[in-house]
């Protein structure tokens, strides 16, 4: 499965979406059918949290109405049905990303998945030092002199856990810088990733710049150096086809609330051979084989990393969201959103006093655009747009180092999804064009 197709390839392979189809899709999303400040809602904040179609809402409600019970813990009818639905959802998500069933772990969100990995790697060093666990753990343990490599564009969720891992182990954290257009300095990446690199963690698509990173090229550099490769797929899994095996990454994370599902659910993918030797992060019930008063033995993945009562209804709803996206066609969604992103960037670039972050119009990007309005704070821009019924994100978007690199403290971000039309984008652009005059900037 191709991960990012060219527009020409997509045009030949799949029928394009259009405004008429998007308006039909929009009818599946109850929250979008409302007025905000007397204006029809234009929701352009899906990069932060997407909305839920009725089928997802109904899937979670149906679980509570028909089969609410703890999973893996009972022989009664409801418990069996709940467990089957829960594990069917796992299989759906494994298929969605091209993974194997046992390689798909439930988390609360991508942030938890990345922290799980960070602490599991810390525990690998502790276990290896005590002669506990698989002999291969020694190769995963970090120590002074080792290096963790990230990029300058990372969301805090894919930066701070690695900062803390470096602190706990004595390893050094390094980063691949960006060019002024937001692209990664791949020439420097090749020099930074080397024999000391133990972990390479990077985002598939930037939540600020909209840039799509060269995953396979970065992965090859990481693996050639003997490093574990961790992919933040939060801004890619909801929007374009994702095949973790083809990308050849060792781990990947994403969150359900960015892909039509409820909050409180996410997925960690990991290669089975790595998951089965990594020490667990959370410990307790449901992830053990034998417990004595002195020690415990742990199940293999995925249960190895799923202690306690799980996010059952949310997992079922996430599977319903994945089915909705698959049925619509992720190739088609990606193409439509890419067109909306180009429309946003081209329009913003034509407004005096606007600086758009990331690739210029005509360059590949996902369907979002972050921008600075000269003389007007991002929070004021957001409130101005909200007064016109347009929802956007303001702030540093959990990417302070990136904003600092670009000489900014905050920006406004508009992010589209499969339920946005070209009219939504045009209303947004018309409103942005009036911001500086309104604030007399």
The residues that are catalytic are: 398
Q: What is the 3-state secondary structure (H, E, C) of 281-336?
A: CCCCCCCEEEECCCCEEECCCCHHHCCCCCCHHHHHHHHHHHHHHHHHCHHHHHHH
Interhelix angle 422-433/378-386, nearest 10 degrees: 120
Q: Which residues contact 7 (CB under 8 A, 6 or more apart)?
A: 335, 338
Cα torsion 416, 183, 371, 154: sign: positive
The DSSP call for residue 15 is P
Token duo for residue 44: 């352009």
CA 163 to chain centroid, in Å, comes to 19
**In angstroms, rounded to a whole number, what is the distance separating the alpha carbons of residues 124 and 279?**
6
How many Å is the Cα radius of gyration of the chain?
Answer: 22
Calculate ∠ Cα 320-322-324, nearest 5°. Answer: 70
Half-sphere exposure of 38 (CA within 13 A, CB side): 1
**In angstroms, rounded to a whole number, what is the distance separating the alpha carbons of residues 408 and 403?**
5
The DSSP call for residue 70 is -
Find the Cα–Cα–Cα–Cα dihedral 232, 236, 242, 248, rounded to 10°. -30
Q: Which residues pair with 369 in a beta bridge?
A: 414
**In angstroms, rounded to a whole number, what is the distance separating the alpha carbons of residues 72 and 227?**
35
């Amino acid at each position: 499965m191709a991960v990012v197709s060219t527009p020409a390839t997509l045009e030949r392979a799949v029928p394009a979406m259009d405004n008429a189809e998007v308006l039909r899709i929009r009818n599946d999303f109850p929250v979008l059918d409302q007025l905000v400040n007397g204006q029809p809602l234009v929701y352009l904040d899906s990069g932060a949290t997407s909305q839920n179609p009725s089928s997802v809402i109904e899937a979670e409600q149906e679980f509570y109405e028909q089969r609410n019970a703890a999973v893996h813990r009972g022989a009664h009818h409801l418990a069996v049905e709940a467990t089957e639905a829960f594990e069917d959802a796992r299989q759906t998500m494994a298929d969605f990303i091209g993974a194997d069933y046992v390689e798909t772990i439930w988390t609360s969100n991508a942030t938890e998945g990345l922290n799980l990995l960070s602490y599991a790697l810390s525990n690998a060093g502790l276990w290896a030092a005590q002669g506990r666990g698989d002999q291969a753990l020694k190769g995963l343990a970090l120590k002074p002199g080792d290096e963790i490599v990230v990029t300058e564009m990372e969301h805090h969720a894919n930066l701070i856990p690695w900062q803390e891992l470096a602190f706990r182990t004595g390893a050094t954290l390094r980063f691949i810088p960006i060019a002024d257009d937001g692209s990664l300095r791949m020439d420097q990446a090749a020099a930074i990733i080397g024999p000391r690199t133990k972990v390479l963690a990077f985002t598939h698509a930037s939540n600020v710049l909209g840039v799509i990173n060269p995953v396979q090229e970065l992965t090859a550099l990481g693996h050639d150096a003997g490093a574990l490769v961790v992919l933040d797929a939060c801004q890619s899994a909801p929007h374009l086809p994702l095949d973790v095996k083809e990308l050849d990454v060792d781990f990947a994370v994403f969150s359900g609330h960015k892909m039509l599902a409820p909050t409180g659910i996410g997925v960690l993918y990991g290669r089975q051979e790595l998951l089965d030797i990594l020490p667990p992060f959370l410990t307790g019930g449901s992830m053990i084989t034998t417990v004595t008063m002195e020690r415990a033995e742990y199940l293999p993945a995925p249960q190895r990393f799923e202690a306690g009562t799980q996010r059952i209804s949310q997992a079922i709803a996430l599977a319903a969201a994945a089915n909705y996206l698959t049925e619509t066609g992720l190739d088609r969604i990606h193409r439509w959103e890419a067109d909306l992103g180009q429309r946003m960037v081209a329009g913003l670039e034509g407004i005096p006093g606007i600086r758009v972050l990331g690739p210029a119009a005509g360059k590949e990007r996902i369907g979002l655009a972050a921008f600075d309005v000269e003389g007007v704070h991002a929070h004021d821009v957001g409130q101005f747009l909200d007064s016109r019924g347009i929802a956007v994100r303001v702030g540093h978007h959990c990417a302070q180092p990136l904003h600092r690199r670009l000489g900014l403290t905050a920006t406004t971000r508009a992010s589209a999804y499969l339920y946005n039309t070209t009219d939504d984008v045009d209303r947004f652009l018309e409103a942005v064009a009036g911001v500086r005059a309104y604030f007399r900037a």
